[in-house]
Amino acid sequence: MKAGFVLKPKNTSELKNTFLKIKNIFENKNIDVLIDSFSAKALGLLGVDFDEMCSSVDFIVALGGDGTLISVSRRAYKYDKPVLGINAGNLGFLTDINPDNIEEFLNQFLEGKYRIDKRMVIEITYQDKKLYAFNDVVISKDVISSMINIQVDTNESFLNTYRGDGLIFSTPTGSTAYNLSAGGPVVYPLTESFILTPICPHSLTQRPLVLPSNFILEAKVKEEVAKLIIDGQEIYTIEDKIVLKKAQKPTRLIHRLKRNYFDVLREKLHWGEGK
């Protein structure tokens, strides 16, 4: 069995001791470890090209925070490999394994005592490009002082024209990210739906909307230029319509059997305090 590691891109060198300790645990369990060349260079180690690594491993490990896991899941999407998140960050909505309990988890993993969550992915078509979003797609104005007008149509009919600072198209996984900050709903991550949340809308009647995942959405920006932001990590300039739909396959995340999403919400959002 082989595992491919990608480390968080910022302050990667600080993770060297943690990575080497985890690598030793993996190899003691007869799991060969590869590390992508970008992460390896920051640690002063030898690595392999990311695409080559993804092609040759059985699963991928993202060592960092939720941002690292999101980035790795998107970049590795075409290889259809399950991703394990080890939390070396702060938030940890998605990365529920800590470096201190990795050996315990690996023992369970090798006994088949784990689960794989299938998370919906958004496919974005813009001109001749196909892009993929694990968390969200944001259309944002290009000029701070002006509003943006975004017309949204579904495969059934015209939906709405949103006026304001922008519009978020979120997956259920991304519902606890930018969508939540903008006033959108928390949606159970294993459901399949689009969440449309306006950013600082001009009219208070513009409210978040949840749509079935079988809808095809078309967004047209009425201004000359706007920004398309994918997972808060990739930014494109758009001057034409974009089409969004549920991608053909989900991203697969490896989790502990006992992981409970509502426990995570209570811990991260401080629900139920004072009970």
What residues act catalytically? Answer: 66
Is residue 131 a contact partner of residue 140, using CB atoms and an 8 Å limit?
A: no
Burial 194-203, CB ≥16 within 10 A → b, else e:
bbbbbbebee
Map tokens 């939720």 to a residue: 66
Is residue 184 a contact partner of residue 170, using CB atoms and an 8 Å limit?
A: yes
**Distance from CA of residue 169 to its chain's centroid?**
13
In a 3-state reduction of DSSP, which class is residue 260?
A: coil
Sheet containing 32-35: give its strands across: 32-35, 2-7, 59-64, 83-87, 251-256, 114-119
CB-CB neighbours of 23 under 10 Å: 19
Q: What is the DSSP letter of 139?
A: E
Is residue 196 a contact partner of residue 183, using CB atoms and an 8 Å limit?
A: no
Q: Position 66: which residue type?
A: D
